[in-house]
Amino acid sequence: MEQQGSTKLDGTKTASANEQLLTFIVDGEEYGVDILRVQEIRSWSNPMPIPNTPHYIKGVINIRGDVVAIADLRERLGLPKLEYGATTVIVVLRVNAGGHERVMGVIVDAMSDVTNVPQAAIKPPPTFKNSAEGSLAKGIVTLEAAAAEFGGRVPAAV
């Protein structure tokens, strides 16, 4: 997988023509996230629930010795809950929050593709009703937000 553009040592990105997104599906809608933030993709495994956490935080799972919390994106976006099935997938992301890097998992319906989206096509997000600005779990992170016309579908990156 080629890297488009380049990331400087301090994490900022140099201007590049395209942005590479990993896209996935939640409730029929296509969403995308900056591929540089994706650590891995795992198939569904039962999390250990944590008490006193928001309903969309399903618990923690063991990823090679690390204890990682996972959040259900459907529930976070206020969508009706779905049974976890064979195509349910956990996208494990590296995010920057509270001053340091953390690893978090996001439960999505299914994986889609890796696509290149021209930077120019990425527009700032419209305001969603349930503040899907993309803050997962208590003030964790804002992922790249974009809206772009793309191949007939409308991917909104969360």
Partner 1 sequence: MTNRLADIQQELMGTFFEEAVEALTQIESGLLALEKCQDDPGRIHELVNDVFRAAHSIKGGAATFGLTQIAEVAHHAETLLDRLRSGSMKPNAQITSLLLSSVDTLRALVQWSSSGDGSDAPATDALCKDLDAAAQQLGAGSERDTAAASKPASEVRKARYQIKFVPKPDMLTTGNDAVRLLRELTLLGDTKVIADTSRLPGLREVELTKCYLGWTIELEGAVTRAQIDEVFSWVDDDAEIKIDELVERSSAAAAQSGERPHDPAARAPEHAGDRDGGGSIRVSVGKLDMLMNMVGELVITQSILGELEGDGPIDVKRLASLRDGLALLARNTRALQESVMSLRSMPIGTVLSRFPRLVHDLSRQLGKQVELKLSGQTTEVDKTVLEKLGDPLTHLVRNSLDHGIEKPEVRRARGKPETGTLSIRAFHRGGDIVVELEDDGGGLDLVKILARAKERGLVGQDDVLSDEQIRELIFAPGFSTAEVVSDVSGRGVGMDVVRRNIKAIGGQIQMSSVQGQGTRTTLRLPLTLAIIDGQLVGVGSYTYVVPLLSILESVEINRARVSQFEGKLPLYRLRDDLVPIVSLGGVLGVTTGRMSLDSGLLVVVETDGERLGLLVDELQAQQQVVVKSLETNYEHVEGLAGATILGDGSIALILDVQGIARLARSAQGSSVVRAA
Question: Would you count residue 74 as binding partner 1 (CB under 8 A)?
Answer: no
Question: Would you count residue 17 as binding partner 1 (CB under 8 A)?
Answer: no
CA distance 31 to 54: 22
Question: Would you count residue 65 as binding partner 1 (CB under 8 A)?
Answer: yes
Question: Would you count residue 87 as binding partner 1 (CB under 8 A)?
Answer: no
Shortest distance, CB of residue 40 to partner 1, whole angstroms?
14
- Cβ distance to partner 1 smaller for residue 103 or 122: 103
Shortest distance, CB of residue 12 to partner 1, whole angstroms?
20
**Residues of this chain, 104-143, that bind partner 1 according to CB under 8 A:** 104, 137-138
CA distance 113 to 133: 22
Distance of CA 44 to the CA centre of its chain: 16
**Residues of this chain, 21-40, that bind partner 1 according to CB under 8 A:** none
x/- binding map, residues 37-56, to partner 1, per CB under 8 A? -----------xxxxxx---
Q: Mark out the alpha helices in the chain (DSSP H runs).
A: 73-76
CA distance 125 to 150: 15
Question: Would you count residue 99 as binding partner 1 (CB under 8 A)?
Answer: no
CA distance 80 to 130: 14
Is there a contact between 141 and 97 (Cβ–Cβ < 8 Å)?
Answer: yes
Question: Would you count residue 81 as binding partner 1 (CB under 8 A)?
Answer: no
- Cβ distance to partner 1 smaller for residue 55 or 129: 55
One-letter identity of residue 24: F
Handedness of CA 73, 76, 78, 84 (dihedral sign): positive
Chain residues that interact with partner 1, rule: CB under 8 A: 48-53, 60-62, 65-69, 98, 102-104, 137-138
